[in-house]
């Protein structure tokens, strides 16, 4: 196995920050060899910012409403990430679609987690769409971010059954359990230099 490299993470989150908390916990347990350099949110009320502050991590709101357009907003994000020496951008419930400006700046260095088994059910309402379609299995997907929406090369997936009496909340809770296990593991693989993008495929060194 390649020796783990100390990466500096910049976590972008818009809401509760439960995936962020799983990453913080993995770092504190010594299971994830990385430093969280900054947590950024587009939402001043995001609880993710409080989670970061409680862990002693710089927490900054870059409020989208204060910027005239997506690219000025993303330039502000980049400025904060660069100031903290971020080497890997981790999207953890960040509810903004990034423009090519941002994606190209961090090409091959942005991870996202999506609460469905991509390429099925992309977008912001995955659990609703899963239940409406009637599939029997859902889950979560971790992928590199490209210039499309939830379309980047897939790194890892975890599956959960969809039960007959599921609601968005009950299904979402079971998917979250898998997210919290899988995301820190995939970030550690990245830190160890084990992930290699080959076209649409991601090879994971053993």
Residues forming the active site: 114
- Is 96 exposed, middle or buried (CB count within 10 Å of its CB: 0-12, 13-18, 19+)? middle
Residue owning tokens 């987690």:
113
Task: Please list the alpha-helical segments (H only) found in the chain.
Answer: 18-28, 47-54, 70-83, 100-105, 126-133, 168-191
SS3 12: strand
Task: For residue 202, list its beta bridge partners.
Answer: 197
Dig out the tokens for 156 from the structure. 């890892």
What whole-number distance in Å separates Cα of residue 25 and Cα of residue 137?
A: 28
């Amino acid at each position: 196995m390649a020796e783990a490299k100390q990466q500096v993470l910049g976590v972008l989150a818009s809401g509760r920050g439960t995936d962020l908390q799983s990453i913080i916990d993995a770092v504190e347990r010594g299971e994830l060899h990385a430093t969280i350099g900054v947590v950024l949110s587009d939402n001043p009320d995001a609880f993710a910012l409080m989670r970061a502050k409680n862990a002693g991590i710089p927490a900054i709101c870059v409020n989208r409403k204060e910027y005239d357009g997506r690219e000025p907003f993303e330039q502000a994000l980049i400025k904060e990430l660069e100031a903290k020496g971020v080497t890997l951008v981790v999207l953890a419930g960040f509810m903004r679609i990034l423009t090519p400006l941002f994606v190209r700046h961090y090409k091959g260095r942005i991870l996202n987690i999506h609460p469905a088994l991509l390429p099925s059910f992309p977008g912001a309402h995955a659990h609703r769409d899963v239940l409406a379609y009637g599939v029997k299995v859902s889950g979560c997907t971790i992928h590199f971010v490209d210039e499309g929406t939830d379309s980047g090369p897939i790194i890892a997936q975890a599956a959960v059954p969809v039960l007959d009496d599921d609601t968005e909340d009950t299904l979402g809770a079971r998917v979250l359990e898998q997210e919290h296990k899988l995301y820190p593991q995939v970030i550690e693989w990245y830190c160890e230099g084990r992930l290699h993008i080959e076209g649409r495929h991601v090879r994971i060194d053993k």
